[in-house]
Amino acid sequence: MPYTVFYMNRRATEEVCQIIREHLPPGWTLTTPTADGDYSAELASCDFILVADEAITAEHISASPRLRMIQHQGVGYERIDLEACRARRIPVALIPEGTSVAVAEHTLLLILAVYRHLLRAATGVQQGRWMQWELRSDSFDLYGKTLGLVGLGSIGREVARRAQAFGARIIYYDPWVSPPANLAITRKESLEGLLGEADIVSLHVPLTAGNRNLINSRTLQLMKPGAVLINPSRGGLVDEEALTEALATGRVAAAALDVLNEEPPDPSNPLLRMENVLITPHIAAGTRDALENKMRSAFANLLRCSRGESPANVVQELKDLTGEDQGCHSTVKN
């Protein structure tokens, strides 16, 4: 039977929505938010929710009587009310596909841009400043530097592979991942050990209650003098006030951030005005290639659910809602 998918993303452009429609199964319908609506009409008629980075609350789930499953188009699900999903026996699935390569490439872009002062150099040319020698004493090669990866999931491993090609030495901290056999990489037994050794600290972990403000005034003090911080993961991993102070005092040389605590940021955020900070607007996974890969995986997963099968990549906290014998639950009949 045909199903309706609500793409819960008020900021998506029509071009993005058209790419998503191109991957819809035959006969299915994609609905998108109205300009100023409260989602009530879309939620009331949808069978599935496809979400990017908006919050899904208990109220949203209560307003969706036909809802069978929530499919996140990425891997960060901290804004979805899992307790409300459990109460309705609604699985929440993630899409690791399409994210790893794009985020890894963006991570290397941020590292190189910070090391070469790319933004200052390019803007300077536009403003009539030719800084051929002005930036030289404070620009660096990635070759020979120690890159410290906090988290070695699929994204962290892709970053490691690419950084190896630049001749970087790679260390990582992840208590749940053993050193991969195909990577020349050294595991550190503590975050503190990594911070004291790395020239570049790059974050590749999800945001949880246990690691919020993982980078704070204490851990920033443990970083190697002159080190830089890269965050393409989640803004909540970093205490922005503490980072601002560390950057202002020179304790941390520079930071490149694709994510912030508040997105878009308040114009008064001091990080926006710091010369040693590079901020991109949460675009690490934001390529057309990544989106198309994600949509292929997303609709393959929704098709599994529509057939009563167990979807792939259900979040750990809700895995008992699905299973080989149970399939994908629904509170309504087909």
CA 185 – CA 308 distance, rounded (Å): 42
Alpha-carbon separation of residue 221 from 72, 116, 210, 297 (angstroms): 36, 24, 20, 42
Q: Which of 42, 234, 240, 304 is catalytic?
A: 234
Terminal CA-to-CA distance of the chain, rounded, Å?
8
Q: Which residue's structure tokens are 């109220």?
A: 59
Say whether the peptide bond before residue 264 is cis (omega within 30 degrees of 0).
yes
Q: Which residue's structure tokens are 């979040």?
A: 315
CA 56 – CA 78 distance, rounded (Å): 10
Q: Which of 68, 106, 157, 282 is catalytic?
A: 282
Centroid of chain to Cα 69: 21
Helix (H) / strand (E) containing 187:
strand 186-187
Q: Which of 22, 78, 263, 275 is catalytic?
A: 263
Q: What are phi and psi of 77, to 5 degrees?
A: -110, 20
Is position 282 annotated as part of the catalytic site?
A: yes
* Tokens at 71, concatenated: 């499919």
CA 7 – CA 317 distance, rounded (Å): 23
Q: Are 240 and 261 in contact (CB under 8 A)?
A: yes
Is position 60 annotated as part of the catalytic site?
A: no
Q: E strands along the chain, which residues?
A: 4-8, 29-31, 48-51, 69-72, 92-93, 146-150, 169-173, 186-187, 200-203, 228-231, 254-257, 277-279
* Tokens at 117, concatenated: 């002062």
Is position 11 annotated as part of the catalytic site?
A: no
Active site (catalytic) residues: 234, 263, 282
